[in-house]
Amino acid sequence: MEKPIQHIETEIALVGGGPSALMAATFLLDAGLKVRLYEYTSSLAKKFNVAGKSGLNLTNSLEDPSFIEMYGDDAAWIRPFILNFNNKDLRETLLHFLGIETYIGSSGKVFPKEDLSGARFIKLWIKYLKGQGLAVFTHHKFIGWIDDNALQFEDRSGDLITVYAKKAMLAMGGVSWPMTGSDGNWIDSFKAKGIQLAPWQASNCGVQISADATFFEKWNGQFLKNVQLSLNGKSVKGEIRISRYGFEGKPIYHLVPEIRKELRKGDDCTLSLDFKANMSAENLLKKLEELKGNSLSKTLKSLSVHPSFSMLLKIYQLDYTTSVDLVKWIKSFPIRVEELADIKKAISVVGGVSKEELNEDLSLKKVPNSYLAGEMIDWDAPTGGYLLQACFSMAKTVADSMIEDLKF
């Protein structure tokens, strides 16, 4: 016998309980709307909690327009969402609704106040929303639309629930860290509607570099400090972590869009690594002349160049007989990238719903009362708070549009 289908009516259905949903719920509840939140896994905000493990970097204090420029090729598309709700608005919102202060840390990164862990911050936010009347349904998986206002879910026991919502926001995330629930399970329901999807690719991830197993075994976990990485005229300073397969860290993450372009073309992708970014080539040459006669390892130690450099010279079979050669390799070592790291371990992804499928208020052209926000849309941003800020800004745009449509 077929199981009966449960029918539910609501003003707003939020689908996927990540940071985008928490932000939309904050404004929708404040406007007095009835909001139900459906989450596929056992609890809300699993990936948001992962992000909070090493300090929850909510946004960045960089001023517009520099802030928006950080979105690279997607800056023009993201611009209206950030202008509608920027980093200052976010900080004021958290203070106004949750009473939580934020502070600016290193490199302009913004975090919840110092004595509040990421996990506690998220708990407080969810508690606040439930106190405002948010109805939360975990173990409810979105499986598709029946019509423009009817969304279908499957619960843990396989029962079907149809939710008739005046408006719905879907924010079901990308495909990295799939154990958090963001695993792209929703793709078929979008394809069934004829919605165009771009292929998933890792972003803000490490890269596999050409080197041998001994190199990775020896240096795994060590940091190359004060280095600069360059590709196609773009340079990023910072710290690189040597991993079991390659390099990780800010300079890599910020160059991933460029690296991805090169790899997609099928070309060799060679990064230029400056091991001594805080010293000019001229000064380095002078120092090397002074240190002439010393062994390479002693010379590198005196210059505070990481010892992995000499191993790389041998692996890449580079000639370093003169000081001029050595300066050249220290200031621009040609690191060959083999591929991007495993998408499952990436901090974020690109791919998902094509931007062309969305109206300006982020409603779907093919399902007008359903809106999207967050990482399930095909956009890119570097780490540093820009990912979460974009999710929050999109969610605010969606909430504004829903409130305007339903209240007036």
Q: Which residues bind ligand FAD (CB under 6 A)?
A: 15-20, 38-41, 46-48, 50-51, 57, 141-142, 171-173, 176-177, 181-182, 185-186, 347-348, 374-375, 383, 385, 387-388, 391
Contact 344, 203 (CB under 8 A): no
CB of 47 to ligand FAD, least distance (A): 4
Q: How far is the CB of 88 from ligand FAD (least distance, A)?
A: 16
Q: Which residue, 337 or 390, has its beta carbon nearer to ligand FAD?
A: 390
Least distance from C-beta 114 to ligand FAD, angstroms?
16
Nearer of residues 309 and 371 to ligand FAD, judged by Cβ: 371
| Dist CA 146 CA 80 (whole Å) | 31
Say if residues 333 and 240 touch (Cβ distance below 8 Å): no
Q: Identify whether the C-beta of residue 171 lies closer than 8 Å to the C-beta of residue 373.
A: yes
DSSP code, position 244: S
Report which DSSP code applies to 364. Answer: B
Distances 71 to 66, 209, 363 between C-alpha atoms, Å: 9, 26, 21
Instruction: Name the residue nearer to ligand FAD (CB basis): 20 or 308.
Output: 20
Q: Coil, strand, or helix at residue 187?
A: helix
With tokens 């450099």, the residue in question is 309
State the minimum distance, in angstroms, from the CB of residue 141 to ligand FAD: 5
**What minimum distance in Å lies between the beta carbon of 372 and ligand FAD?**
9
Which H or E run contains 89?
helix 87-98
Nearer to ligand FAD, 70 or 211 (CB): 70
User: Distance (Å, rounded) from C-alpha 284 to C-alpha 286?
Assistant: 5
Q: How far is the CB of 394 from ligand FAD (least distance, A)?
A: 8
Assess contact for 322 and 226: CB atoms under 8 A.
Answer: no
